[in-house]
A and B are shown apart, each in its own frame.
Chain A
Amino acid sequence: MNWMEGWWAYVFIAVAGWLATDIWRWLGVIAGNRLREDSEALNWVRAVATALVAAVIAKLILYPTGVLAQSPLWLRMAAVILGAFGFFLGRQKPAAGIATAIAVLAAGLWWLGF
């Protein structure tokens, strides 16, 4: 299928992209404005927001698209688990965990002939 052309493409992106995402951001501002910073309701919202992002993370690791779709699951899991070891051994510095995970993945992909 061919991509859209001309002004219609911009209308399409503005409605199906811009409006479709900003509606939720605006509703979030309105809801967030009513929350007190130390309230139990905000704790719940925090928990839901964190779990949502965590679900996105799990999907990116378990069901990746592109090149990683062809990589074995055990390699991606090993990269995340060893990355977690690196993170906690490196006094919970994000860079320590990220570097370990990416190094394990790169070594594994190279060994598998990617």
Chain B
Amino acid sequence: MPGTCTLMEDAEDERSSFAWFVTGARGIFSLPAVILMLSFVGFCALTVQAGIPPEQVIFMTGAVWALPAKVILVSSVLGGASLATAFLAVTLSSVRLMPMVAALVPELRGPRTPTWLLLVLSHFIAITAWVFAMERVHDVPRNHRATFFAGFGITLVAANMILVGVVYHLVAEFPPLVAGCLFFLTPVYFLASIWHSARHPVIYVALAAGLVAGPLCYWLAPEFDILLAGVGGGTVAWFGERLWRLRREAKT
């Protein structure tokens, strides 16, 4: 709803920063937050099997935050990796955070948002918070967007730190059917949400390109598959969509 945005900006600008922080924090009751928390229950089961003490799991949740990076960190250590090797594996798998943050920052910042605040807030960005923010931030007046995101991000991280601490001693063995469905929630939710929240045609093309390029690059170069699929698939999608857009504009 691009038309209603400016109207809302006038009408709701009187709401205080605190009110927007609370609105963001209430995102904890949204579908994406619930799905992420279910995924964290699954991750918790993994750490129990790996024999990681609960204090470390809580620290890891707050410090690393991105779930795929944590899974790679845990499996590196279990495989006997040194600090340098583990650092390399996690860093390579997390390059994707850079374009994700870079795409979100222009939507998030207002005219007076300081860079240090964006640097601090960027810690709370992982796939779920990114998808959530890309979907909702357009309904928030621009000068309150950083506050709104802070409310959501900080609440989500804190809630999951508490969650892993609480369920650590409860997750024994899930029935396989439940565990399988919990795991499958994440990819299916990402798919539906990206399609639902796309506001530019290039998103649809890039989504399709990434879905095809991902397995293809895994087959070609398993170590760098995600990075290759993202840069390669994304560039092809952008170029194709741009060509189509320019050609259509030239006709009219």
Complex interface: chain B residues within 8 A of A24 (CB) = 91, 94-98, 101
Determine which residue in B60, B68, B87, B101 has the highest number of CB atoms from chain A within 10 A of its CB, and name it. B101
Complex interface: chain B residues within 8 A of A47 (CB) = 202-203, 205-206, 209, 234-235, 237-238, 241
* A31 lies within 8 A of B102 (CB): yes
* A17 lies within 8 A of B69 (CB): yes
Complex interface: chain A residues within 8 A of B183 (CB) = 60, 64-68
Interface stretch among B4-12, B21-29, B156-164, B225-233?
B225-233
Interface residues of B in 90-111 (CB under 8 A from A): 90-91, 94-107, 109
Docked Cα-Cα span, A64 to B191, in Å, equals: 16
Chain A interface size, as a band, is 35 or more
* B63 lies within 8 A of A17 (CB): yes
Complex interface: chain B residues within 8 A of A110 (CB) = 177
Docked Cα-Cα span, A83 to B186, in Å, equals: 13
* B180 lies within 8 A of A54 (CB): no
Report whether over half of chain B's contact residues are helix, strand or loop; otherwise say mixed. helix
A44 touches B (CB below 8 Å): yes
* A57 lies within 8 A of B211 (CB): yes
* A13 lies within 8 A of B69 (CB): no
Q: Distance in Å from the Cβ of A17 to the closest Cβ of chain B? A: 4
Residue of A nearest to B228 (CB): A55
* B231 lies within 8 A of A48 (CB): yes
A89 touches B (CB below 8 Å): no
* B106 lies within 8 A of A32 (CB): yes
* A44 lies within 8 A of B226 (CB): no
Complex interface: chain A residues within 8 A of B203 (CB) = 46-47, 50
* B210 lies within 8 A of A55 (CB): yes
Complex interface: chain A residues within 8 A of B101 (CB) = 24-25, 27-29, 31-32
Report whether over half of chain A's contact residues are helix, strand or loop; otherwise say mixed. helix
A-B contact pairs, 13 of them (CB 8 A): A13-B73, A17-B73, A21-B97, A23-B91, A25-B123, A25-B125, A37-B106, A49-B96, A50-B210, A57-B211, A59-B225, A109-B177, A110-B177
Residues in A lying within 8 Å of B, measured CB to CB: 1-4, 9-10, 12-29, 31-33, 35-37, 40, 42-68, 71, 76, 79-80, 83-84, 87, 92-95, 97-98, 101-102, 105-106, 109-110, 114
Residues in B lying within 8 Å of A, measured CB to CB: 31, 42, 50-53, 56, 59-60, 63-66, 68-70, 73, 76-80, 83, 86-87, 90-91, 94-107, 109, 115, 118-119, 122-123, 125, 127, 130-131, 176-177, 179-181, 183-196, 200, 202-203, 205-215, 217-218, 225-227, 229-235, 237-238, 241-242
Given contact pairs A28-B125, A46-B200, a sample of 20 additional A-B residue pairs in the complex whose CB atoms are under 8 Å apart:
A3-B53, A9-B53, A12-B83, A20-B94, A21-B91, A25-B123, A26-B119, A28-B100, A28-B101, A29-B105, A32-B103, A46-B203, A49-B100, A52-B227, A58-B215, A64-B184, A98-B189, A105-B181, A110-B177, A114-B177
